[in-house]
Structure 1
């Protein structure tokens, strides 16, 4: 069983594409909460409202960090996706955290982001441009088959 944490952008269906392409493989998937509103508002929904947006965001980020740390620390491989719509500072942080823990990393990014992500790519074990390449890499890691 391979434990894979799917980090990164939450605005496309890349996670579902990777999972579908890995059908039949023994993979346990984990990921951050991908409902953007729930992720942003979890702290205030649970611990109470904040007038200051900084503390609103801080409560949510701290709570989400529990899930993220648990997922990264428990995974065998981190897959981190950098999408085109937003700057994913959290994804870069996740990659750095995984690298510091010595976790294998597969980066999923668009070709035009190569320069901006050169340090992240240098810490990664593989860099893919499509979810299908990620799935093929995971299949190879798990089975040794191309």
Structure 2
């Protein structure tokens, strides 16, 4: 069995690459997809496709449309979603991605520190699994393949 895992959540650190590297070390049969990790490309993609926009608000909206298209297609092709919420980079798109996973009935592993328990309690209650670290999320993912 091969699974496709959408990695949602904060984009300003290397948690995704760390998770991918550890999954490779464990020989997990997974393919990872997720949002555009090149922040400048993500911000500029609307103008790259549609051309120069008249102001920053319309520029952001054009980029958002392209990024939302990418997210929807890749999430729909995924078997499971891991959504990471951290203390340092609080982004609304993390909540949107987690909500989209639930709306499309994708299994969700929610990663959040204990300090964010209260603001994420409803989301946590709907997730299949809630953990505090990306390493714990990886262990939960690995358990799917455990035949012991």
Common fold by TM > 0.5: yes
TM-aligned CA deviation for residue 102 of structure 1: 0.8
Work out whether residues 106 and 124 of structure 1, in 8 Å CA contact, stay in contact via their aligned partners in 2: yes
TM-score between both structures, scaled by the size of structure 1: 0.93
TM-aligned CA deviation for residue 87 of structure 1: 2.3
Please name the residue that 1:5 is paired with: 6
Q: Tell me whether 1:131 sits opposite 2:134 in the alignment.
A: yes
Work out whether residues 43 and 63 of structure 2, in 8 Å CA contact, stay in contact via their aligned partners in 1: yes
Deviations for 1:52-97, whole angstroms, at most 9, x for unmatched residues? 2111000000001111001111111000111222321111011111
* Structure 2 residue corresponding to 1:94, chosen from 92, 97, 117: 97
The 5-angstrom pairing of residues 1-146 of structure 1 reads 1-23=2-24, 24-144=27-147
> How many residues were matched structurally?
145
Separation of aligned partners in 2, 1:67 and 1:99: 17
Work out whether residues 12 and 89 of structure 2, in 8 Å CA contact, stay in contact via their aligned partners in 1: no
| RMSD after superposition | 1.2
Q: Which runs of 4+ in 1 moved over 3 A?
A: none
Gaps of 5+ in 2: none
Separation of aligned partners in 1, 2:3 and 2:82: 12
TM-score between both structures, scaled by the size of structure 2: 0.92
Gaps of 5+ in 1: none
